[in-house]
Amino acid sequence: MKDRPDHWVGFDLGGTKMVAAVFDEDFRVVGRSKKKARGFEGARAGMDRVIGTIESALEEANVSPDRLACIGLGAPGEVDLKSGVILHAPNLGWDDADIRSALKKRFDCPFFLINDVDSGVYGEYRFGAGKGGRTVVGIFPGTGIGAGAVYRGNLITGKRASGMEIGHIQVMPSGPLCGCGQRGCLESVSSRLVIASAAAAAAYRGDAPYLMEHAGTDIRQIRSGVLGDAVAAGDTVVESIVRDAAGWIGKGVATLVNLLVPDIVILGGGLVESMPDLFLEEVGRTADDTVMRGYRGSYTLCTAELGDDAAVMGAAAWAQAHVKGGDTK
């Protein structure tokens, strides 16, 4: 006899690790598994690792696959929400990966695919800094600039694709070339990659002694944590670079406030976690200077609370909301 479905799986495919968590009906974690993400191993091998990670989490939870009510998965890049296909995930080297079909062959339960930034914002809305909000916006600066928004319990998306590509709004006409091919996008002036490049040049010039000693000029080694340490250690040029980038993000926040009038705006990601006070100060100041006057003071600017758990919790909760709402297509 098949067990009653009473557990939910959330999966985070973003970042350097694959993370699966099993939740019970009270949304408590009863099992978890992590595996290192092997970039560019190919979609087929990667999807097999996703299945193996879920199986390991189920084994730790002592839960049989028959008891799964649903699986929610947050994935980086472009995803087709309707078909469950990861269209293009450049950080993974995946194209047209039919993750829904792969999981259906192993787990007989509904599956929902979501962008990983959206899943993180939804997790913060349900369980973290956005809890109780009516309209919640989350912005996560990192290698790129990701964003998501929840309005009255629902993520704002298109019919098939995620949106909220704040990283590709133009903030500087004729500005630096962006990875998307356009010029002057927010991502081209405020991502961690841009900050790291400018900081490496400062270290090379001798203007950032702490950074030079601990990371050198290799931008691959200039991660969020070492940038935060450099600022704390007194590398004032690095602090200025970060503040400039945060100011541009503040302009992005102002744009979203003018469009959506959120009551909560959440800043998250590794950069913000390493320098929360700096980001709150600079983003908040610039946003207040830029937003329409009537919207000043209408929203709370805060930092994320759930850290790496946001995306996996959000993916599971989003799947749960769809199943309980009757949408399992």
Specify whether the CB–CB gap between 124 and 317 falls below 8 A. Answer: no
Place of tokens 């993750």: 99
Tokens of 10: 């959330």
Q: What pLDDT score was predicted for residue 38?
A: 67
Fold of 132-303: Nucleotidyltransferase; domain 5 (3.30.420)
Q: What pLDDT score was predicted for residue 161?
A: 84
Q: What pLDDT score was predicted for residue 253?
A: 96
In the chain, where are the structural domains located?
Answer: 7-121, 132-303
Specify whether the CB–CB gap between 260 and 135 falls below 8 A. Answer: yes
Q: Establish whether domains 7-121 and 132-303 are of one fold.
A: yes
Nearest to 83 by CA among 108, 105, 122, 112: 112
Q: What pLDDT score was predicted for residue 324?
A: 74
Rounded Cα gap, residues 225 and 231, in angstroms: 10
H or E element that contains 312: helix 309-324
Assess if CATH 3.30.505.50 describes domain 7-121. no
Regions of the chain where pLDDT drops below 50? 1, 326-329
